[in-house]
Structures are given as structure tokens and as C-alpha cells.
Structure 1
Amino acid sequence: MTEFKKPKARRIVGGVDTHADTHHAAVVLMNGRRVADREFSATRAGYADLLEWMRSFGRLQAVGVEGTGSYGAALARHLSDAEVKVVEVNRPDRQQRRAKGKSDPLDSYSAAEAVLADRARAVPKSGNGLAESIRVLHLIRAGAVKARTACLNELQALLVTAPAELREQLGGLKKARLADACSRLRPSADLADPAQSVKVALRHLAGRYRALSAEIDATYDQLKTLVEQARPELPAIKGVGVETAAQLPVTCGDNPERLSSEGSFAALCGVSPVPASSGRTRRHRLNHGGDRQANRALYVVVLSRMSCGPPTRAYVERGTAEGLSKREIIRCLKRYVARQLYKVIVRPQAPAAESPVLS
């Protein structure tokens, strides 16, 4: 479209629709008037050109960026390093897209207008510290755990149709012992024989299982070291292991101060009740949003305390006597745990005393 440049004294807001290879940027005035849009390459040079282009239209107040956790992560870091306020923008909902259409220029303008109208307020993760290092190691470890489980399932499925001799030899063995036994098989060179081919396949699967186990153990030690550097208080809390202590800083990011209250942290973890009232009905429903991996981490902490924490078990007994179901009790406990962990992760300088219920 035609670009109209005005004096640099005016204030502007930017919006960016991000993709793998290109980013589409747009500029709007503070009164909502659309000024210009342009496409840039998703490279360091492209990020510099994008910022320079936006600033050529006036004083840049903020930039709304779609996908700050994926395609827009590098751009968000570049803008933050240049001391530009970055706001995370969700993509337009389906109803809005049906009404206004879908294109890269429209999406970039929509991002800028969401910031201007204060519909978008979230501060993205900075992704430049220990939390980002923990995230990438935690990600590959989780993938290795899934791959090892799939490998073990494949190995056991192969044994179901294996010759009777092999089934009797390996019967009753589980996991690491089964993998060790399969690695000691000695097939002959005659792969035309199904029995020998099965032995070869079992040896390959056993080698894969052992390699994945070694990777999982190595990344566990690396995660433990990083967690102790980032948040040494977390592993000391009852029920919080290395996995949980790694997931929660990842959820908050390297700039946890972006979470203004423990209620916002609870919402981010999906443990804050959502109002669902209408007319004379006053009720709340379960929060299905938030980071589900963080929600799972809180769930693991609660289960651990319910099994071996006397104060928590007393709380469960009291809640049961009052007519609450086990699921409702767990939801309440997850909210309590979120409140405690918020004070450690986001406000570590002023830790509060632990509630007896959380012990």
C-alpha cells in the first residue's frame, strides 16, 4: 500500500505477523489510523531493517508481536535489546477472521490495533537466561523419555510374535533387564531365518533403549545443575523434584517479574477458578487454560504431599468430611501450592513462611 511518512514527533504503534521465513510489519498512529505495512526477512538483518523502518514513521511506543514463543521469539529478543516495549499478541479469533478476512497485512495491523486498544497486555518471555537453557534441555529430555517408552513398547510387541525359544528365554524380564538380555543375543549371519532376524531387531532396539537411557540420565544431571543455579530454593520444598523445579522456571521465563501477582501465576498454571455465574447462580468452573505442563507439575507436587505429608493428609480428611470430592480437594491444594511457589520463583527476595497445609 502507499506509505505516508509524517514528522518523527508523532507517536506510533507497530504490529508484526510472524512466519518461519518472513515477518510482516505494520504501523498505526495513536488515533488508530493505518500508516504502512511491509514484509521483512526473518534474519538479523531483517530485524534491524524492520525496526529502522518502524522508527522512520515516528516515536515507537510499543510493538505487538504474534508468536513470541515460536516464530517471533528471535524478533522479540531483538526488539527488547533495542529497548522497545514488546507485547505478546494472540492471533485473531475465528469469528473476527470470518468477518474481516485473513492476510498477512491484516494480521499485522490487527496486532498493532490490539496493543493500541489495550486488548493485548502480556509481556513475553525474554528467553535470554537460565530459564531458556533449562527449557531446551527439559524439552529434549522429555522427547527422549517418550522415545524410550515407544522403544520399550516396540520391543515387547516384537516378543509377542517371536519364536517360542526367544519368548521363553526373555519371558518375565522388564525394562532395563530386558534390554540388557536382548543386547546379549548373538544372531547368526543367516538373516533369511526369521528367528535370526528377530534377534537382530531385538539387539537394535536394546541398543536404542540403552542410548536413550544414557541421554536421559545425562540431561537429568545437567538440568539439576541448572536448577540449582537458577532457583536453589525450589528442590528444598517438599514434593518438588528436579522435573518440577525445571518446569516452573520454564513457565515463568527469565523475567518472572512480568507476573504481577500470585493470581496471574495461578492463571498461567491453569489453577485459578474461572467465574461462571449467571443470574441468581453463583459458581466457578475449572480453568482449562494456562500451561498444562506447569499444571501437571503442581499436580505431581500435590500427589506427593498427599501420600507422605501429614498436614496435607489431614486437610484431605477434613475436606472429605465436608463433602468435597478428591478432585475438588486436589484443585484446592494445587492453588495453595501455586501461591507458595510463586513466592519462591517470582519473589525470592521475600519468601513467606510455609503453610501447614502445604507441608
Structure 2
Amino acid sequence: MYPMTAAASIRPRRGSGLQALAAALLWAAPLNAQKADTVILRNGDRIVGELKALDRGAVSYSTDDMGTLAIQWDKIDRIISDRYFEVEVGSGERYYGALQRGIQVGQVVVAVASFSDTLDQAAIVRINPIGRSFLARVDGSIALSLSFQRANRLRAFGVEADARHRSTKWLTEVRSSVYFQAQEGAEGTSRNSVSLGESRFLPQRWLLVGTGSAEQNEELALDLRVLVSAGGGRFLRQSNRAYLLVGSGLAYANERYTGSSPTSNLEALVSAAAEYFRLDSPKSNLRGALTVYPSITDFGRVRSDLDVSLTHEVIKDFTIGLTLFDKFDSRPPAAGAAKHDYGVAFTTGWTF
């Protein structure tokens, strides 16, 4: 349920569902031509421009004179627009309509046709214009890591990249990682992966998730693992500063280890992911994800993947960071294969 506040007028009204969305879609096209949105800051400043989105506690706001601004949501006193938006609150409920001034400070009215909903501004976690273009909904990052040691002629190179596209009900995410290490007098080592995930958002912070991935890791003697998984989860917490997500499901893996025949395996999966983001300048982001795969067809075998990353903005959109990974397999199919691989890397990156 939507979190109640002391003001009874903040209770969602009946028009916040499909009826509101249908009306918003009907009127969105002519109203999208009007781009005179107004933001009033807590210090009294008034900025006229175009509201691009609210996500992770920051409003992306386009102006003619100052370009695109990132304005902290808690620095905004009121926001007014005749255009139509999808507004999501921390409970997972969504509302559709124009943004109007609330009766009380800290309220936002989402209005369409003959009905409206009054929301607590602090509870709003995401705003997207209806009819927003495909490219405007894409964001991501690229991070590089380089290492060279003269004493033992060690050279290492790594690239990590991700991109996300979010619509009103779907999130598509692509991730890739490339790592290569070479040392004089020793064989090189590589570790590569790519994944594609699709999430379907449901009411009350629930979601369905499907992923496909391919992975190679010479340290673990893994020539190739192709994995397909499906499951569901729920955001236990969702705010303008952080989220906590837990999930479970099933995974099918086809694996080929060095010196062994390909094997197939059905696994359960249990996962947890959390992220904390500070968008006050300079921006910082801490993210972690853990997935455990207890095998069903090879009972007693357990795999786990842990990824942690910390980034800090040094100049606009350019970051430095630290990444950590840990991969464990209690019983690899290949005799003599390592059970454990882990590493830490310092990175420089760019977000878009």
C-alpha cells in the first residue's frame, strides 16, 4: 500500500489506474508540444524549462540558457507542468497526469481529465514523461582499469560496460566485462562475460526477471558457461537514496571446462542486490549484488557470484572507482579446476 501521511488528502483516489493512463495517452501528444515546465526551488528561485525525468533523487531538467541541469529532488519546493507524466512512489504504485501545485507544502497533485491524486513529494521516486523517446530512456557507464609492473612485466587491462533502457513497465539491461592479464614467463589469463536481462515491473514493488548470459574464466578452467534464468523478486526498500531487492528463481546452465566434456545443470537461484546513491555534487554510488546457485541436478554443488562497486565523480560524468568480485564453485565438473576466483580493480569511467 501507499505509505499514509498525517494529511488525509494524500490518500490515492480511484482515478490512478488504467483510466488515468488511457486519458494521459489520449492527451499526451498535443500537450507534449508545450515545454514550459516550471520548477520552484526551496530558496525561491524559479526555473522554466523541460522536465526530462526524475530518477535516483535527481531531476534532469533542460533549459535554454543553462543546458541540462541535475537538480536534487529535495531541493525542489514545487514543480508544475501541463504535460503528462508517469509518477511512481516508493510503494510501487504509479499515477498518470499533469503535475500541479499541492494545497500544502510538500505535496504534488497528479491530475488528468476530471480526477486527481495528491501525493507526498518525499514519497515520489521516479517521474517519466509519457511519450519519452527511446534514447532519452537509455543510461549506462563504461569503466577502464590498467595495470603495469616493470619488475615482473605484468600487464593487465579491463573494461566493464553496462547500459539500461527503462519504459513504464519494462527494464532492459546489458552488461559486459573483459579482462586480460599477461606476465613475462607465464601464460596469459582472461576473464570475459556478457549478459542480457529483462525485468517486468508489477504492482506493489514486485517484478519478474529473465536473464541470459555467457561467461569464460581461465582462472577457473571454464571455457564457456551459457546460463538462462527466470524468476521473480521484490523491492524491500525503494527511495531516492537507495534500494534493496531480493529474488529467487531457476537457472539452466550448459558448461564446458578445459579437458572435460560439456555438461548441463539445473540450478535454483537466490539473489540480493542493494544500491546507495548520493547525487549531491560530487556524486557517489555504492552497489552490491550476490547470487547463490544451489544445484538441483548435481545435488550438493553450490556456486556463488558476488560483485561490489564504488564510484565517485571527480568531474562531470567522469568517475574513479573500485570494483570487487568473488566467484565460488564448491564442486567444479573438471578435475583439478580451481574453486575460487576473486579480484579487486581500481577504475576510471564515464557515465551517460
- TM-score bucket (shorter structure): under 0.3
Structure number with the higher helix fraction is 1
Structure number with the higher strand fraction is 2
Compute the TM-score of the two structures, normalised by the length of structure 1: 0.20
